[in-house]
A and B are shown apart, each in its own frame.
Chain A
Amino acid sequence: MNRYFRELSVAGALGLLLALLAVVAPAFYQPQPLLSLATREAPTLVVACGMALVIICRQIDISVGSQFSVCSVGAGLLAAHGWPAGLVLLASVSIGALLGAFNGVLIAGLRLPSIVVTLATLVSLRQGLNLVRQGEFVNLPDGLQWFGLSQTDGQWTLVAFALGLLLVFAVALRYLSAGRFVYAVGTDTEAARLAGINPQRVTFAVFVLMGALTGLAAMMNIIQSPQVQPLSGNGLELKVIAAVVVGGVAISGGRGSVWGMFAGLLLLACVSPTLTHLHIEAYWEKAIQGAIILLAVVADGLRSRKENR
Chain B
Amino acid sequence: MSAPLLELRRITKSYAGVHALRGVDFDLQPGEVHALLGENGAGKSTLIRVVTGAHQPDRGSIAIEGKRVTNLTPSAAQQLGVACIYQQPALFPDLTVAENIALRLEPSTGLRLVHWSARRERARNLLARIGASISPETEVRALSMPEQQLVEIACALGAGARIVIMDEPTASLTQKEQHLLFAVVRDLRASGVGVIYISHRLDEIFTLADRVTVLRDGESVGTSLVGDINEAGLIRMMVGREVTQIYPPAETEPGEVVLALKGIGSSACPVHDVTFDVRAGEVFGLAGLVGAGRTELARILFGLTPADRGEILLNGRPVILHSPQEAVAHGIAYVPEDRRRHGVVLEMPIAQNMSMAVHRRIFPGTWLRFGTERRHALDFIRDLAVKAYGPDAPGGSLSGGNQQKVSLARWLATKPKLLILDEPTQGVDVGAKSEIHKIVRRLAKQGLAVLLISSDLPEVLGMSDRIGIMRGGTIAAVLPGKADAQEVMALALGTAK
Chain A: residues with CB nearer than 8 A to chain B? Answer: 3, 174-181, 183-184, 186-188, 190-192, 194-198, 205, 254-255, 308-309
> Beyond the given A179-B114, A183-B95, could you list 8 further A-B residue pairs with CB under 8 A, ordered by the A residue number?
A175-B116, A176-B114, A177-B109, A178-B112, A180-B114, A186-B94, A188-B90, A196-B108
A174 to B90, CA, bound (A): 22
Given A174, A177, A196, which contacts B112 in the complex, CB threshold below 8 Å?
Answer: A177
The 17 listed contacts between A and B (C-beta, < 8 Å) are A3-B139, A174-B114, A176-B113, A176-B114, A177-B108, A178-B110, A180-B103, A184-B92, A184-B95, A187-B93, A188-B90, A191-B90, A191-B92, A194-B74, A195-B104, A196-B78, A196-B108
From known contacts A180-B103, A184-B95, infer whether A190 and B90 are also in contact, taking CB-CB under 8 Å. Answer: yes
Tell me, yes or no, whether B135 is within 8 Å of chain A by CB: no
Q: Which residues of B contact A180 (CB under 8 A)?
A: 95, 99, 103, 114
| Interface members, chain B 169-185 (any A CB < 8 Å) | none
Residues of B within 8 A of A196 (CB): 75, 78, 107-108
Whole-angstrom distance from the CB of A174 to the nearest CB of chain B?
A: 7
Determine the distance from Cα of A195 to Cα of B83 in the docked complex, in whole angstroms: 12
- Chain A residue contacts of B113, Cβ below 8 A: 175-177
Bitwise, B378-393 to A at CB < 8 A (1) or not (0) is 0000000000000000
**Smallest CB gap from A181: residue in B:** B110
How far is the CB of A108 from the nearest CB of chain B, in Å? 15
Are A254 and B92 also in contact (CB < 8 A) when A177-B106, A195-B104, A309-B267 are? yes
Contact of A254 among B94, B104, B114 (CB under 8 A): B94
Query: How long is the Cα–Cα vector from A175 to B75 in the complex, in angstroms?
Result: 25
Ranked 5 nearest A-B pairs via Cβ: A178-B110, A254-B94, A187-B94, A196-B108, A177-B112
User: What residues on B are CB-neighbors of A308 within 8 Å?
Assistant: 268
Write the chain B residue with the least CB distance to A195.
B103
A44 to B438, CA, bound (A): 68
Chain A residue at minimum C-beta to C-beta distance from B114: A175
How far, in whole Å, are A272 and B110 apart by their CA atoms in the complex? 40
* Cα separation A127 to B103 with both chains bound (whole Å): 43
Most buried by B among A181, A188, A205, A308: A188
Chain A residues, Cβ within 8 Å of B18: none
Rounded to whole angstroms, the CA-CA distance of A309 and B306 in the bound complex is 11
How distant is B143 from chain A, measured CB to nearest CB, in Å?
14
Smallest beta-carbon distance A214→chain B, Å: 21
Bound: A308/B269 CA distance, A: 10
Which B108-132 residues have C-beta < 8 A from chain A?
Answer: 108-114, 116
A309 touches B103 (CB 8 A): no
Closest chain B CB from A186 CB (angstroms):
8
Residue of B nearest to A253 (CB): B94
B260 CB to closest chain A CB, in angstroms?
Answer: 27
Q: Chain A residues near B139 (CB, 8 Å)?
A: 3
Q: How far is the CB of B105 from chain A (nearest CB, A)?
A: 9
Q: How far is the CA of A224 from the CA of B103 in the complex (A)?
A: 43
Interface residues of B in 443-464 (CB under 8 A from A): none
- Chain B residues, CB < 8 A from A205: 110
Q: A194-B74, A196-B78, A197-B103 are in contact. Are A176 and B112 (CB under 8 A)?
A: yes
B92 interface neighbour in A174, A177, A188, Cβ under 8 Å: A188
List chain A residues, Cβ under 8 A from B92. 183-184, 187-188, 191-192, 254
Pair A309/B95 contact, Cβ less than 8 Å: no
User: What are the residues of chain A within 8 A of B268 when measuring CB–CB?
Assistant: 308-309
CA distance A188 to B107 in the complex (A): 18
CB distance from A27 to the nearest CB of B (A): 43
Residues on A with beta carbons closer than 8 Å to the beta carbon of B109: 177
Provide the main secondary structure of the chain B interface.
loop
Expressed in whole angstroms, the minimum distance between the Cβ of B437 and any Cβ of chain A is: 36
Tell yes or no: B91 within 8 A of A by CB.
Answer: yes
- Inter-chain CA distance A176–B111, complex, in Å, is 6
Residues of B close to A191: CB separation below 8 A: 90-92
Measured in the bound complex, the distance between the Cα atoms of B112 and A176 in whole Å is 6
* Chain B residues with CB under 8 A of A181: 108, 110
Chain A nearest CB, measured from B52 CB (Å) = 10
Residues of A with C-beta under 8 A to B108 = 177, 181, 195-198
Asked if B94 and A183 make an inter-chain contact with CB atoms under 8 angstroms apart, the answer reads yes
**What is the distance, in angstroms, from B167's C-beta to the closest C-beta of chain A?**
14
Question: In the complex, what distance in Å separates the CA atom of A195 from the CA atom of B90?
Answer: 9
| A208 → B minimal CB distance (Å) | 13
With the chains together, A77 CA to B268 CA distance in Å?
Answer: 62
Instruction: Check if B111 sits within 8 Å of A194, measured CB to CB.
Output: no
**What are the residues of chain A within 8 A of B112 when measuring CB–CB?**
176-178
Name B86's closest neighbour in chain A (CB-CB).
A194
Contact in complex: A184, B111 (CB < 8 Å): no
**Contact status of A255 and B94, CB under 8 A, knowing A180-B99, A194-B74, A195-B104:** yes
C-alpha gap A54/B106 in the complex (Å): 24
When C-beta atoms are compared, the residue in chain B nearest to A194 turns out to be: B90
Q: How far is the CA of A254 from the CA of B268 in the complex (A)?
A: 25
- List, in ascending order, chain B residues with CB within 8 A of A197's CB: 103, 108
Residue of A with least CB distance to B75: A196
Bound complex: CA A177 to CA B94 (Å): 16
**C-alpha spacing A177/B74, complex, angstroms:** 21
Q: How far is the CA of A254 from the CA of B78 in the complex (A)?
A: 25
Contact pick for B93, options A188, A194, A195, CB 8 Å: A188
Q: Assess whether B114 is in contact with A177, with CB atoms less than 8 Å apart.
A: yes
The docked-state distance in angstroms from the alpha carbon of A258 to that of B26 is 51
Bound state CA distance, A177 and B111, in angstroms?
A: 6
Alpha-carbon distance between A191 and B95 when the two chains are bound, in angstroms:
12
User: For the complex, what is the distance from the CA of A178 to the CA of B111, rounded to whole Å?
Assistant: 6
A255 to B95, CA, bound (A): 8
CB distance from B422 to the nearest CB of A (A): 22
Taking CB atoms, residues of chain A closer than 8 Å to B104 are 195
Q: How far is the CA of A308 from the CA of B106 in the complex (A)?
A: 33
| Bound CA span A194–B75, Å | 8
- A68 smallest CB distance to B (angstroms): 27
Q: Which residue of A lies closest to B103 (CB)?
A: A195
Whole-angstrom distance between the alpha carbons of A169 and B268 in the complex?
Answer: 39
Distance from A261 Cβ to chain B, minimum over Cβ atoms (Å): 17
A127 to B99, CA, bound (A): 45
Tell me the B242-285 residues at the A interface (CB within 8 Å): 267-268
Closest to A255 in B: B94
Q: How far is the CB of B54 from chain A (nearest CB, A)?
A: 9
A179 to B, closest residue via Cβ: B114
Q: Which of chain B's residues have a CB closer than 8 A to the CB of A178? A: 110-112
Q: List B51-87 residues whose CB lies under 8 Å from chain A.
A: 74-75, 78
Whole-angstrom distance from the CB of B335 to the nearest CB of chain A? 25
Instruction: Find chain B residues with CB under 8 A from A188 CB.
Output: 90-93
Q: In the complex, which residues of chain A have a beta carbon less than 8 angstroms from the beta carbon of B116?
A: 175
Which of B94, B108, B139, B267 neighbours the largest number of chain A CB atoms within 10 Å of its CB?
B94
Q: Which residues of A contact B90 (CB under 8 A)?
A: 188, 190-191, 194
